[in-house]
A and B are shown apart, each in its own frame.
Chain A
Amino acid sequence: MIIHGKWHSLGSAAQSVAALYIEDDDYRLEIDGGRTYSGELQSLQVSDRLGNVERKITLEDGSIFASQDNDAIDRLFKDHTKLNNFIHAIESHIGLVAIATLLTITFAFSFFKWGVPWASTKIAHALPQKTNELIAGETLKFLDKYMFEESKLDVEKIEHIREHFRSTLIPLDEKNNSINYKLHFREWNDGETGIPNALALPSGDIILTDEFVKLSENQDEIDAVLLHEMGHVVRRHTLEMVIESAFVTTAVMLITGDNNGLADMGVGLGSLLVSTNYSRNHETEADLYAFEHMLVAKIDPQAFSDIMNRITESIEEINDEKSEEDEGGILDYLSTHPSTAKRVEQAKRYSKCFQIGMIICDTSTVNSEH
Chain B
Amino acid sequence: MKALSFAGSGFEYFKIWIVNILLTIVTLGLYYPWAKVRNRRYFAANSNLEGRNFEYHATGKQLFIGYLIAMAIFIVFVIIQNVSPIGSLIVALLFILALPWIIWRSIKFNMRMTSFSNVRFGFDGILGGAYINYLLLPIVCFLALYGLPIALAIVIPMLGLQMNALLGIIILVAVIAFIVLAFFLFAFLKKRNTSYAINGYRYGQGEFSTNVETKKFAMILLKSVGLSILAMIALLVIVAVIAGFTGIANEILQLKDSLQDPEAMQMALAGSLGMLIGLVYLGFIIVSLLIVAYLYTRQRTYIYDNSNLDNKITFASTLKARPFAWVMITNFIIIIFTLGFGVPWAKVRMARLILENSQVNTNHGFDEYLTQKQKQQSSLGEQIGDAFDVDVGIGF
Chain A interface residues (CB < 8 Å from chain B): 8, 10-15, 50-54, 56, 64, 66, 87, 90-92, 97, 100-101, 103-104, 107-108, 111, 134-135, 137-138, 142, 241-243, 245-246, 249-251, 253-263, 265-267, 270, 320, 323-324, 326-328
A242 to B343, CA, bound (A): 29
C-alpha gap A257/B34 in the complex (Å) = 12
- CB–CB B22/A245 < 8 A: no
The residues of A that contact B230 with a CB separation of less than 8 Å are: none
| A104 and B25 form a contact (CB under 8 A) | yes
Question: Are the C-beta atoms of B42 and A51 separated by less than 8 Å?
Answer: yes
Name the contact of A15 in the complex, choosing from B13, B29, B117 (C-beta under 8 A): B117
A11-B119, A260-B391, A266-B340 are contacts. A324–B259 as well, Cβ < 8 Å? yes
B78 and A255 form a contact (CB under 8 A): no
Q: Among the listed A101, A254, A323, A328, which residue makes an inter-chain contact with B341, where contact means beta carbons less than 8 Å apart?
A: A101
Q: Given known contacts A13-B369, A97-B19, is B265 in contact with A323 (CB within 8 Å)? A: yes
Min CB distance B60 to A, Å, is: 10
User: Which of B39, B85, B370 makes the CB contact (< 8 A) with A13?
Assistant: B370
Q: What residues of A have a CB within 8 angstroms of the CB of B26 in the complex?
A: 107
A107 close to B25 (CB less than 8 A): yes
Cross-chain contact A253 with B387 (CB below 8 angstroms): yes
Q: Is the CB of B262 within 8 A of A50?
A: no
> Known contacts being A12-B119, A245-B82, A266-B336, is A258 close to B22, with CB within 8 Å?
no
Q: Is B88 located at the chain interface by the 8 A CB criterion?
A: no
**A263–B119 CB distance below 8 A:** no
* Cβ-based interface call for B90 (8 A): no
Q: What does DSSP make chain B's interface, helix, strand, loop or mixed? A: helix
Q: Which of B45-53, B130-138, B186-194, B211-219 touches A?
A: B45-53
Complex contacts, A246 vs chain B, CB 8 Å: 75, 78-79, 82
| B7 sits at the interface (CB 8 A) | yes
Q: Are A103 and B78 in contact (CB under 8 A)?
A: no
CA distance A328 to B273 in the complex (A): 14
User: Cβ of B221 < 8 Å from any Cβ of A?
Assistant: no
Using a CB–CB distance below 8 Å, which chain B residues touch chain A?
7-8, 12-16, 18-19, 21-26, 29, 32, 35-36, 38-39, 41-42, 45-46, 52-53, 55, 71, 74-75, 78-79, 82-86, 116-120, 204, 259, 262, 265-266, 269-270, 328, 331-332, 335-336, 340-341, 343, 346-347, 366-371, 386-387, 389, 391
Q: Which residues of A contact B71 (CB under 8 A)?
A: 250
A102 to chain B, nearest CB (A): 10
**Nearest B-chain residue to A131, judged by Cβ:** B83
A52 to B387, CA, bound (A): 29
Please determine whether B15 and A97 come into contact, CB atoms closer than 8 angstroms: yes
Question: For the complex, what is the distance from the CA of A25 to the CA of B270, rounded to whole Å?
Answer: 75
Select one of B79, B85, B119, B204 contacting A142, CB under 8 A. Answer: B85
Distance in angstroms between the alpha carbons of A56 and B57 in the assembled complex: 11
Most central of A13, A56, A97, A326 by chain B CB within 10 Å: A13
Given contacts A90-B19, A107-B26, A265-B332, 9 further A-B contacts (CB under 8 A): A10-B371, A13-B366, A135-B83, A241-B82, A243-B79, A250-B71, A250-B78, A255-B25, A259-B347
B391 in contact with A101 (CB, 8 Å): no
With beta carbons under 8 angstroms apart, the residue of A11, A108, A328 that contacts B25 is A108
Compute how far the CA of A249 lies from the CA of B204 in the bound complex, rounded to whole angstroms: 39
A134 CB to closest chain B CB (Å) equals 8
Asked if A104 and B269 sit within 8 Å, CB to CB, the answer is no
Known A51-B46, A53-B41, A97-B19: A266·B75 in contact at CB below 8 Å? no
Q: Which residue of A lies closest to B203 (CB)?
A: A13
Nearest CB in chain A to that of B45: its residue: A53
Interface centre among A87, A259, A262, A266 (most CB of B within 10 A): A262
Query: Which of A108, A246, A251, A326 has most B Cβ within 10 Å?
Result: A246
For chains A and B in complex, what number of residue pairs have CB atoms within 8 angstroms? 162
Nearest 4 A/B pairs, CB to CB: A11-B371, A53-B45, A14-B367, A8-B118
Neighbouring A residues of B266 by C-beta, 8 Å: 326, 328
Contacting pair B79 A242 (CB below 8 A): yes
Contact of A326 among B45, B265, B346 (CB under 8 A): B265
Q: Are A11 and B370 interface neighbours, CB within 8 A?
A: yes
Q: A351 to B16: give the CA distance in the assembly, Å.
A: 55
A137: chain B residues within 8 A (beta carbon): 83-84
On whether the beta carbons of B53 and A54 are closer than 8 Å, the reply is yes
Partner of A91, one of B16, B52, B55, B270: B16
Bound-complex Cα distance A10 to B119 (A): 9
Shortest C-beta distance, B173 to chain A (Å), equals 38
Contacts of A100 in B (CB 8 A): 18-19, 22
Partner of B21, one of A104, A249, A262: A104
Cα distance, A66 to B51, chains bound together (Å): 11
B19 and A91 contacting across the interface, CB-CB below 8 Å: yes
Q: With A15-B117, A100-B19, A323-B259 as given contacts, are A50 and B38 in contact (CB-CB < 8 Å)? A: yes
Q: Which residue of B lies closest to A248 (CB)?
A: B78
Tell me if B370 and A262 are in contact (CB < 8 A): no
Chain B: which residue is nearest A323 at the CB level? B262
Among B14, B39, B53, B55, which residue has its beta carbon within 8 angstroms of that of A257? B39
Cα–Cα, bound, A251→B367 (Å)? 45
CA A137 – CA B79 in complex, angstroms? Answer: 14
Give bound CA distance, A326 to B258, whole Å.
Answer: 13
Q: Tell whether, in the assembled complex, residue A50 and residue B24 are in contact, meaning their CB atoms are under 8 Å apart.
A: no
Interface contact A262-B45, CB-CB below 8 Å: no
A50 to nearest B CB, angstroms?
A: 6
Considering the complex, give the chain B residue whose CB is closest to the CB of A246.
B78
Check A50–B265 contact: CB distance below 8 A. no
12 A-B pairs (CB sep. < 8 Å): A11-B204, A14-B368, A50-B38, A52-B12, A54-B53, A64-B118, A90-B19, A107-B26, A241-B82, A260-B391, A263-B346, A328-B266
Q: Which residues of A contact B74 (CB under 8 A)?
A: 249-250, 253
Assuming A12-B370, A250-B71, A253-B74, is B45 touching A101 (CB within 8 A)?
no
Known: A13-B370, A100-B22, A250-B71. A326 touches B262 (CB 8 A): yes
Q: Choose one: A135, A249, A326; the contact of B78 (CB below 8 Å).
A: A249
Q: In the assembled complex, which residues on chain A have CB atoms less than 8 Å from the CB atom of B387? A: 253
**Complex Cα–Cα for A256 and B39 (A):** 12
The CA-CA distance from A347 to B83 in the complex, in Å, is 32
Contacts of B32 in A (CB 8 A): 254, 257
A13 touches B265 (CB 8 A): no
Docked pose: A370 CA to B266 CA in angstroms: 34
A-chain residues with CB within 8 Å of residue B389 when the two chains form the complex: 253, 260
Give the CA-CA distance A53 to B19 in the complex, in Å: 17
* Interfacial chain B residues near A12, Cβ < 8 Å: 118-119, 367, 369-371
Residue numbers in B under 8 Å from A263 (CB-CB): 331-332, 335, 340, 343, 346
Query: A303 CA to B109 CA in the complex, in Å?
Result: 64
